[in-house]
């Protein structure tokens, strides 16, 4: 079976976790701080705060941005449900906007149409690692006095106009789930250039505690902590952070390898008129966290039939990115988003992972072309 994805973890990560366990400090501690500093340096942000996952990162971002009961936040429906959930957690209403069919990212024109006097923020998703137009949405937010929060769950290692995703906006949230480009088992990170946000995020992730465990542990005098506001247990462990440090060291190499595989898919499929491929605009560099193709109306097989026939050949795929407004939890909003719905219904995510041997890429491509009744053979791009 060729899987849809798998994390790239080696003996380096195993040794780092092992060494950390032997120190006796396994919860949030020195490795977490080291990971935060190195991730901030990598992205170009002033600060980074490690948390338990990207959903908790988004939740805390909503809080420090001042989003609350009765507010509205515009976001795509075409995103994992955690995007909308983070808005709902703070008592606000997710307002779903359409996406661009070529990038799967928010459509600027439709977003502006959805702005009301209750709108407080735009939650901009870099879907499947493809950067969204941050400058355009920053300008829109400035024009309407809105907060811009980036859901960069899939975008570690992606770049926008020469800079890594993570330093363009006040709040950027990342995921280290096993389906992402680098992984800590699970985990998340928030980057920010604002010191006030940084200090409050550190409080909120640890029950609002005024002095963290490490400071008290290393002190030569007695310290009594205060809990200055209602916070959460959203901490990352030192074991996870130790793995994350090793993963971060490999991130650029992993992205480069993923892009080579994506180039092989592009080269083999670019001439097929009923397949639409992901498109990078000039100045946008995707990490290709996923490779999603769209099957047009003139495809010789339906999307679901295509996926089943590939599975019969031992190739795992996934349907297009979910549309949250059609999930039971949000059906009460009773809206229609025809572009997003069509993209979900006709898109397929193909296997992509590191290392993915050339013979596996070719097997996927040959199987696809056979099922789609395309005579041409895949053209392999030399690594």
Tokens found for residue 28: 């949030």
Segment (H or E) for 169: none
Task: Give the H or E element holding residue 31.
Answer: helix 30-43
Whole-angstrom distance, CA of residue 156 vs CA of residue 131: 10
Rounded to whole angstroms, the Cα distance separating 287 from 234 reads 27
Q: How far apart are the first and last CA of the chain?
A: 23
Structure tokens at 310: 């590939």
* Residue 165 and residue 158 in contact, taking contact as beta carbons nearer than 8 Å: yes
Beta bridge partners of 49: 190
Q: Which two tokens stand for residue 250?
A: 């490999």
Q: Which residues pair with 121 in a beta bridge?
A: 73, 147
For residue 244, the Cα-to-chain-centroid distance in whole angstroms is 16
Find, among 142, 332, 164, the residue nearest to 255 by Cα.
Answer: 164
Q: Please say whether the beta carbons of 284 and 131 come within 8 A.
A: yes
Say which residues have a Cβ less than 8 Å from residue 236's Cβ, sequence separation at least 6: 28, 32, 35, 50, 51, 52, 184, 187, 188, 244
Cis peptide, bond prior to residue 7, ω within 30 of zero:
no
**CA 105 to CA 317: how far, in whole Å?**
21
Distance between CA atoms of residues 289 and 258, nearest Å: 8
Catalytic residue among 180, 202, 246, 250: 180
Please check whether residue 57 is in contact with residue 66, taking contact to mean a CB–CB distance below 8 angstroms.
Answer: no
Rounded-to-integer distance, Cα 102 and Cα 271, Å: 16
Is 118 tagged catalytic? Answer: no
The catalytic site residues sit at: 180
């Amino acid at each position: 079976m060729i899987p849809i994805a798998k994390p790239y973890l080696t003996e380096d990560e195993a040794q780092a976790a092992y060494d950390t366990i032997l120190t006796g400090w396994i919860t949030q501690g020195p490795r977490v701080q080291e990971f935060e500093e190195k991730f901030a340096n990598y992205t170009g942000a002033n600060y980074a705060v490690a948390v338990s996952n990207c959903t908790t990162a988004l939740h805390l971002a909503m809080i420090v941005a001042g989003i609350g009961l009765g507010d509205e936040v515009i976001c795509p429906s075409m995103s994992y449900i955690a995007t909308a959930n983070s808005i709902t957690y703070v008592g606000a209403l997710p307002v779903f906007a359409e996406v661009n069919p070529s990038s799967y990212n928010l459509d600027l024109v439709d977003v502006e149409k959805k702005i009301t006097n209750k709108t407080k923020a735009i939650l901009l998703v870099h879907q499947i690692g493809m950067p969204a137009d941050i400058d355009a949405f920053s300008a829109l937010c400035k024009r309407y006095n809105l907060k811009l929060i980036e859901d960069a769950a899939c975008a570690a290692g992606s770049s926008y106009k020469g800079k890594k995703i993570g330093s363009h906006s006040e709040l950027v949230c990342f995921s280290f789930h096993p389906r992402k480009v680098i992984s800590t088992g699970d985990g998340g990170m928030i980057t920010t250039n604002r010191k006030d946000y940084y200090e409050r995020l550190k409080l909120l992730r640890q029950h609002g505690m005024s002095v963290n465990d490490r400071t008290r542990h290393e002190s030569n005098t007695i310290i009594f902590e205060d809990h200055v506001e209602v916070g959460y247990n959203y901490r990352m462990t030192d074991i996870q952070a130790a793995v994350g440090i090793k993963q971060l060291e490999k991130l650029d190499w992993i992205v480069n390898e993923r892009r080579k595989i994506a180039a092989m898919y592009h080269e083999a499929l670019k001439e097929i008129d009923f397949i639409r491929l992901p498109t990078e605009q000039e100045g946008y560099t995707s990490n290709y966290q996923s490779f999603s193709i769209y099957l047009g109306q003139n495809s010789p097989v339906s999307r679901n039939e295509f996926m089943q026939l590939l599975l019969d050949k031992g190739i795992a795929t996934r349907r297009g990115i979910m549309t949250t407004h059609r999930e039971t939890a949000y059906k009460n909003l009773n809206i229609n988003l025809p572009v997003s719905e069509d993209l979900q219904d006709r898109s397929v995510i193909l296997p992509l992972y590191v290392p993915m041997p050339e013979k596996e890429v070719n097997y996927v491509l040959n199987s696809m072309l056979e099922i789609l009744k395309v005579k041409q053979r895949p053209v392999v791009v030399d690594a």
